[in-house]
Chain A
Amino acid sequence: MKTTSVHPPQTAIKAGLFNCHGCSLLVRRPSNAFTGSVRCPRCNTRLHIRKPNSIKRTWALVIAAMIFYLPANLLPVTITTYMGSTQSDTIMSGVIYFMQTGSLGVGLIIFVASIVVPISKLIILCGLLLSVQKGTSWRPKDRTVLYRMTELVGRWSMLDVFVVTVLVALVRMGYMTTIEAGPGAMYFGVVVVITMFAAMTFDPRLIWDAMEKNDESTTC
């Protein structure tokens, strides 16, 4: 389905419109009002031209996620007790266990969800932030697609948190073996939540704002 963009190509910001983040209603920007206090007449969401302090907030969340990612991987996520002896497993040792015991597919799923997804998400967000701060006009469409992917795929990193929960539920008092959750699982959950917020606070429209600035400077 083809849409007709308004001619000449115009953006909401240039047309003096807020695009409501909650319901996509276009609201005319009052010229006099203090812009921080305008709310959507339809859904009451606070209206912003761009997400407020997007770059600073996203950086803060990305750095926090990187810091928490270390204990998430170094500390055990499960502690297994069998007849008095205990064994601690980190995310990586869990992956290796699956691969060695012949469940290659399951090992790969955990590896992708717990290691590939969060790391690539953090790298992509860093790259997007740097590109926006530099004001580059390099492949804006691809960068927007990358952003959309980080937003969609992040939830799957929660996989290991759920695996630990189910293991703890299934292997408990009453058997000779018990499994307890380790501190790594908590840090890992924190990383997933923080990276989801980081993707939400980043504003992909900043990628295109830089483009338009460059256009103006070359044509004028």
Chain B
Amino acid sequence: MANETTLNETTLMACHGCDLLHRVPALPEKSRARCSRCGAVLVAHRPNSIDRSLAFSIAGIILLFLANLYPFLSLESQGVVLNTTLITGVIMLVKQSMMGLAALVLLTGILVPFVLLCALVYVLLSLKRGYHLPARRRMFRLALILRPWSMTEVFLLGILVSVVKLAKMATIIPGTALFSFLALVCALAAVNVSLDPGLVWKKMDQ
């Protein structure tokens, strides 16, 4: 990790919140630099950033597969048990010809997180192993653009709310996929906390 610290010499940065220029010195462990005028975070030191975000991204992809393979909730009502997978809601919306809504849920809940994680693994693995894979910059740019549109944590809250709503009418049995999805939300949060985009850009410049 020696080259990670030597990268952090004083750099000139402009704040995205107010445009003020700053000389940002090498940051000590786990500290962050804020804009002196508007308080926006300019850079934050993420310990072991590349390794950690790579590990969490790979874990996220595996968990996303598990969350889609197994039933995530089963509902028992009037003697009938039906298994539901993560994608069932999208399929039902398509059947009810709510195409837009189905697309929105499919994108923000499943596809965007998947593409985001794959793009991150592609970029981070190539940096870690020293491979010069093509279109790395474009992939990383894509990952950063997709970040606000990955909404698994909102999806999870939506699942919990629906369970509360239905718990009075029926018996709900949580499945493997529900726990995988919960872990996926944690993995994505961990990726967000450990990823340092500035460091990734600098490493790609080398």
Contact = CB atoms under 8 A, between A and B. Distances in A.
Given A26-B13, A140-B38, A189-B101, A169 B18 contact: no
A190 B101 CA distance: 9
Contacts of A177: 77, 169
Majority secondary structure of chain B interface residues (helix, strand, loop or mixed): mixed
Q: How large is the interface on A (under 10, 10 to 19, 20 to 34, 35 or more residues)?
A: 35 or more
Given A22-B144, A186-B100, A168 B92 contact: yes
A13 interface: yes
B38 A109 contact: no
Contact of A141 (B23, B38, B90): B38
Interface string B131-170: 0000001101100100011010011011101101110110
A175 B37 CA distance: 59
B36 A3 contact: yes
A208 B18 contact: yes
A176 B78 CA distance: 8
Interface stretch (B46-54, B58-66, B81-89): B81-89
Interface residues of B, number: 72
B191 interface: no
Contacts of B98: 181, 185-186
Given A2-B36, A42-B137, A101-B168, 9 more contacts: A3-B34, A9-B37, A156-B154, A163-B161, A165-B90, A165-B109, A175-B75, A177-B77, A205-B19
Interface of B: 12-14, 16-25, 27-28, 31-40, 42, 73, 75, 77-78, 80, 82, 84, 88-90, 92-93, 96, 98, 100-101, 104-105, 108-109, 137-138, 140-141, 144, 148-149, 151, 154-155, 157-159, 161-162, 164-166, 168-169, 172, 197-198, 201, 204-205
